[in-house]
Amino acid sequence: MPKTDKERIEDDEWVNCWICETVFRRKRETRRYCMQCERGFCEGEHGSFAYGHGTCVIHGVHKADR
């Protein structure tokens, strides 16, 4: 089974931001991952650490609405 982005980052590897890759078809490497989906994201553009842990914009938007 392939490793998750979280596992790869913890193994000291770089991963691609899943939003950049899926939506914009560009490769942008990162060392940040979402605690919800465990996929890599660009800090500042496609996620943040506003609540003490990493959350991509897809999973963070639900928390901000509450």
List pLDDT tens digits, range 11-57. 999 999 999 999 999 999 999 999 999 999 998 889 888 777 889 98
DSSP state of 11: T
Q: What are phi and psi of 12, to 5 degrees?
A: 70, 35
Q: Global pTM? A: 0.81
Measured between alpha carbons, how far apart are the two ends of the chain, in Å?
Answer: 36
- pLDDT tens by residue, 3-24: 999 999 999 999 999 999 999 9
Provide φ and ψ at 41, rounded to 5°.
-145, 155
- Domain assignments of the chain as residue spans, ordered by start: 5-65
